[in-house]
Amino acid sequence: MSSPSSSISTLATVVVDDRPVVVTGGTDGTVRVWDLSDGRAIGALLTGHRDSVRKVVTGTLGGRPVVVSAGDDRTVRVWDLAPQPH
């Protein structure tokens, strides 16, 4: 589930739009969302950390599914996981 150049350092599960997913944080500073039914990545790669992601937690904010990530770059980021309209 990770790219060849990075390792998964943390993960969490959540249900998004009635679909169980796993959210991973990597040593490459990225956060990825994966469909648990087929193991494929969902949506865009979430970038913004400049160092390893050490923790991801999931929850809801304003009724929308979110992931909060914390990294070795001493930042905390909040990512909206709700499907975006096309």
H-state helical runs in the chain: none
CA–CA dist 19, 25 (Å, integer): 19
Decide if pLDDT at 25 tops 60: yes
pLDDT at residue 6 in the model = 77
Q: How confident is the model at residue 85 (pLDDT cuts 50, 70, 90)?
A: low
For 61, how many CA atoms within 13 A lie in the half-sphere containing its CB? Answer: 10
Task: Tell if the pTM clears 0.95, that is, is over it.
Answer: no
Whether pLDDT at 1 is above 90 = no
pLDDT in tens, 46-78: 999 999 999 999 999 999 999 999 999 999 999
